[in-house]
Structure 1
Amino acid sequence: MGLYTNFIQTDRQEKLFLQAERLAHKIKERRKLADQAAEMPYDNLQDLRQERFLSLTLPTTYNGEAISLYEFLLVQEKLAEGDGATALSVGWHLGVIKELSEENLWEQDMFAFIANEVGQKQKLVNRAATEPATGSPARGGIPETKAVKQGHEYIINGRKTFTTMASVLDYFIITAYVEHEKAIGSFLIPKDVQGVKVEKTWDTLGMRGTGSDDLVLDQVRVPSHYLVELSEKPKKPAPKGWLLHIPACYLGIANAARNDVIQFAKEFKPNSLNKPISEVDHVRQKIGEIELKLMQARYFMYSIAEKWDQHPNNRANLMKELAAVKVVATNSANEIVDIAMRIVGGRGLSRLLPFEQYYRDVRAGLHNPPMDDMVVQMLAKNAFS
């Protein structure tokens, strides 16, 4: 278990870890395929379903495992060692389900419906909120997607960008401006409703395997009770522990780079040396730097997750720590992969080795919310208040 020895504390955590490890081995074999096709391989999704991975964050009453935040991060980090894009993708699904399970955002009958779809059928769900004009929802833009009520239905028109796993999702939770309410609402939309279309637009440098294409909604009709959330005014930002799946994923990529570069250093012996480069001082110095950065970021992340799980009444006070974990973890992960690339040298740019994909995929973490500038400003404001 190596890297995880100090973080697996119970038999249940070990069982979850071994499940994630099995899946990581399987999806690792398709990592290049996902990168080339710019979408999650269907076989990855089938493996996740067979292991009942998609219901881990559901309550046990809905055939879930009700995993804690700490356990969620443990499996996410390990899964990302196999393929960061698949881990990040399924992390959004698991995080959304965890949020709905714990925060009572929906009417009970609608939550029971989606919970049964996930728990019994291993259906896949994600939110779609980002739009071309509004950018990140975290910045507070009003959706240009519009929902107009007509009798007992809503007619929805709009376009969503960065819709992770768009082509394989079973349900979308989309944000829209509800005109007669003059408010922002969220609608549950099944993939097979007429007017729902996925447009292949995802052609990025890294995290290509998330398949985050555009979702186009053209005269989509849904029953009025599929309006599952409504907010007349912007909500006060609240801490969302489940978003730590993002730093866990990028640290998983860093772990993979760390493991592979150590193996490379043990095996690579240039003809200018009579020993492998693992015995060269400056290489050992760089490996030590990797270990230190990993240790700092991982202990920080798991300690905050423990606080979240063990002290639920104090969660409101963890906003800045949760945001700081994301910034520290994603920046550390980028630094770790960069050091690994320096050890490998020019060979690291070859697609025959995994390092160039780690290098591309890990960059995406810098652009996941919350952004560094927002977090630093929040910390400064807190310091001066």
Structure 2
Amino acid sequence: MTDFDPATYLPDDLLDRIRERAPIHDRENTFPQADLDELRAAGYLSILVPAERGGAGLSLEQAAILQQRLATASPATALAINMHLVWTGVAKVFSDRGVPGLEFVQDGAVAGEVFAFGISEGGNDLVLFGSDTDAAPQPDGGYAFTGTKIFTSLAPVWTKLGLHGLDTTSADAPKLVFAFVDRTDAVVTSDDWDTLGMRGTQSRTTRLNGAVAAPDHVVRRIDPGPNPDPIVFGIFSVFEILLASVYTGIARRALDLSVAAVQKRRSKKTGTAYSQDPDIRWRIADMALAYDALPPQIAALAREVDAQVDHGARWFTLLSGVKHRAVTMAKHVADQAMLTGGGGSYFSSNELSRLYRDVLAGMFHPSDPESAHSTAASAWLGPLGT
């Protein structure tokens, strides 16, 4: 990490342009195509791809730092790019552990492919451990997927969709099948993304009507339910760490804006800057104390994923915990930032107003608060009924 300079991969001028475009995409409910184009040209889509395959060869810890930095400019852009980085991160988990099968993801990222994350399904609280999507085996070893995926970020632009479905007909069924499909006529993207925040992600609903994954793009067939397979650990670890990073970046931006605001605003009563008001100082300190805890937690867990530390089943508590703490911290910081910003922060044109809306999305990503608490309770108290 000593030679790592985040500005090398996300220069200030690039962040400034992304920040300028963010309110436009929020207001118009459009995908930040120019952000993607510039990030792709800068090699950002392949930051987690090994150097020997043409990528930047960064660690998960370094990618987490960069995602925090990107989120300070545009949370929606960072969250959308997150979903692509999850798959390149899973490919890194595989290659680091000598597991073959995702080299095409690494090569595709270097070539400019955009990978989307097609795991979420309405009402499926099993998430990685089950699926309502039908995975029908094909004679050549491929699979045809039929079902509905929700919250498919990068919906207008992805070129390959990583997804899972349930094979119920093979001799060894049931099996959860993880694979990648191309964008074809068998994939229908709804124009239904009109949300409170994170509007630029364009995380639309995706309907699969027999979308076929070629045999060489079928990555894993595993038993449903909790599973130590690298695909489960890879997705869960990279997803949770990079999500925590995005929301921690939002908190950092809200804190920075608050500091700037109270240094500029002056009290009519005392004539001094609000930064000299004891109550305001306490509020800023409270935000800073909450924020400061998260970057080192994220960095430590990311390093341990890269170093292949074996926490066993405890990994799930650690990973769901850091994501939960990041989003609750970010929401707390955003709440406090709105108060320190004054009445002007309530206007939709104010950046704090957008951050406040964007941060609310954090609670809906896996692991949600109920799942995170259930996982922690089981780790400390044992499963229910024992």
Q: Shorter-normalised TM-score: what interval?
A: 0.7 to 0.9
Secondary structure of 2:310's counterpart equals helix
User: Which letter maps to 1:114?
Assistant: V
Query: Residues 49, 381 of structure 1: CA spacing in aligned structure 2 closer, same or farther, 3 A cutoff?
Result: same
Query: Residues 307, 129 of structure 1: CA spacing in aligned structure 2 closer, same or farther, 3 A cutoff?
Result: closer
Q: Which residue of 2 aligns with 1:220?
A: 211
What does the per-residue CA deviation read over 1:261-280, in whole Å, with 9 as the maximum and x for residues that have no partner? 11111112254441221221
User: Which letter maps to 1:187?
Assistant: A
Q: Does 1:305 align with 2:296?
A: no
1:74-113 pair list within 5 angstroms: 74-103=65-94, 108=100, 111-113=102-104
TM-score (norm 1): 0.88
How far off is 1:377 after superposition?
A: 2.4
Q: Which residue of 2 aligns with 1:288?
A: 285
Secondary structure of 1:229's counterpart equals strand
How far off is 1:61 after superposition?
A: 1.9
Secondary structure of 1:157's counterpart equals strand
How far off is 1:209 after superposition?
A: 1.3
1:1-385 pair list within 5 angstroms: 9-11=1-3, 13-14=4-5, 16-22=6-12, 23-103=14-94, 108=100, 111-119=102-110, 121-134=111-124, 137-138=127-128, 140-149=129-138, 154-181=143-170, 182=173, 183-191=175-183, 193-236=184-227, 239=233, 240-242=236-238, 243-309=240-306, 311-316=307-312, 317-385=314-382
How far off is 1:184 after superposition?
A: 2.1
**Structure 1: distance between partners of 2:258 and 2:289:** 15
Secondary structure of 1:87's counterpart equals helix
How far off is 1:129 after superposition?
A: 1.6
Further displaced range: 272-281 or 52-61: 272-281
Identical-residue share of aligned pairs (%): 22
What does the per-residue CA deviation read over 1:119-155, in whole Å, with 9 as the maximum and x for residues that have no partner? 1x221102202223425615x4432344352566644
**Structure 1: distance between partners of 2:141 and 2:320:** 41
Aligned length: 370
**Structure 2: distance between partners of 1:302 and 1:187:** 29
What does the per-residue CA deviation read over 1:338-371, in whole Å, with 9 as the maximum and x for residues that have no partner? 0111112221110221111111111111221112
User: Which letter maps to 1:82?
Assistant: A
Q: Which residue of 2 aligns with 1:6?
A: none
RMSD, aligned α-carbons: 2.4
How far off is 1:39 after superposition?
A: 4.0
Query: Residues 222, 254 of structure 1: CA spacing in aligned structure 2 closer, same or farther, 3 A cutoff?
Result: closer
User: Which letter maps to 2:180?
Assistant: L
How far off is 1:102 after superposition?
A: 2.2
Q: Which residue of 2 aligns with 1:5?
A: none
Q: Which residue of 2 aligns with 1:3?
A: none
Query: Residues 322, 376 of structure 1: CA spacing in aligned structure 2 closer, same or farther, 3 A cutoff?
Result: same
